[in-house]
Amino acid sequence: MAFGFFKKKEPAATPTPASPAAPLPDDPTVEPPPEKKGLLKRLTKAISKTRMILSRKVLGLVGLGQKIDDDILEKLEEAMIEADFGVETSGFLMDVVRSAWKNSTIETTDQVLPFLQKDLKHRLTHRGNALNFAKAGPSVILVVGVNGAGKTTSVAKLAWYLTSIGKKVVLAAADTFRAAAVEQLKTWSQRIGCEIVTGADRADPASVAHRGAERLLESGADVLLVDTAGRLHTQKNLMDELRKIHAACAAKKIEGAPHETILVLDATTGQNALNQADMFKQAANVTGLFLAKLDGTAKGGAVLTINERVEIPVKFVGLGEGVEDMQPFDADQFVDALFDLKDLASAQATGEPA
């Protein structure tokens, strides 16, 4: 496929004005965002499968407060692997636990989970989880990912989130090789109340990004969100396309653009998500992750595996299909939901599984 920047004359990309944001009572996608205090409950439900396995397996190992030994640590590692932390991450975390045990930081099994909670919160936050914005002037955010990962829906969710915190947003529908993606974003833009820039079917994606950057400056908006193509069959194609989109933004003299490149991963796909993360990390300067589809069927350990493997901070999680079913990633609440020590203590007292 040809991606040459302005190699052939394409019909001009035109902005589509959005209708003013208005409540749509029959449309659940426009409900206000859930309060932060409800996120713990939502996350607990979302990662219930992992938590159930951990509660059942771990309670018998750590709830009695006996002295730690190699046999207990081996069983704990097996429980983590079964809960889909992944062999690599489980082994790494248990190396940390073993090191803490050997240097007497922890000595009894009841100290293991509080120690892991503190350690995991550090691992999930030390790279920074906040969205990057320009220090001055408008910001440009690219969203990348393979088709099927929930990329375009995640773009809409990000637009809704940014609008909800008072940002004026322009969308650039640069996934021009999927007409459905463009139409989907048009619909979302009308519901959210933000402007969208589109191009002709199969137009050069960089030309749409260029026009989006132009509208960003013309309209005085705060953020340009660019939905990039997800069907590029080789890493070279991906690198070339993203390089041209970068150049398109730079041509409009938006200093530092793009200020964030968000990779959308389907949190339910395990090794496939890791493979995609590796590819995009090499092909693009990915600065943050949006873990989509972290619903009741997902295994929460995948979040830790992805975080350790790709070394890119998780910035957002998608918890369902509606636009409100997403949140900025809160590592403290995520780890508290994964290792609910209060439930474990209650289960220990009653003899029931947590």
First to last CA, the chain: 53
**DSSP annotation of 314:** E
The alpha carbons of the chain give a radius of gyration, in whole angstroms, of: 22
Element (H, E) at 216: helix 205-219
Q: Could you give the CA distance from residue 282 to residue 295 in angstroms, rounded to a whole number? A: 28
Residue 295 neighbours by CB under 8 Å, 6+ apart? 46, 268, 319, 320
pLDDT at site 344 = 53
Which DSSP letter does residue 269 get? S
What's the pLDDT at 22?
Answer: 38
What is the model's pTM? 0.80
Closest CA to 252 of 290, 285, 224, 292: 224
DSSP letter for each residue of 75-100: HHHHHHHHTTS-HHHHHHHHHHHHHH
Q: Which residues of the chain have pLDDT under 50?
A: 1-12, 19-37, 352-354
Q: What is the pLDDT of residue 26?
A: 34
Distance CA 213, CA 197 (A): 10
Q: Helix, strand or coil for residue 130? A: coil
Taking a C-beta distance cutoff of 8 angstroms, is the pair 171, 155 a contact?
yes
pLDDT of residue 104: 94
Helices and strands (H, E) in the chain, number of each type: 13, 9
Q: Kindly report, residue by residue over 303-333, the tens digit of the pLDDT.
A: 887 888 888 999 998 877 777 778 899 998 8
* Domains of the chain with CATH codes: 47-127 (1.20.120.140), 130-337 (3.40.50.300)
Q: How far apart are CA 265 and CA 150, in angstroms?
A: 8
Amino acid at 264: V
Is the Cα dihedral 341, 342, 343, 345 positive or negative?
A: positive
Give the C-alpha separation, 87 to 212, whole Å: 43
Non-local CB neighbours of 60 within 8 Å, separated by 6+ positions: none
The pLDDT of residue 124 is 94
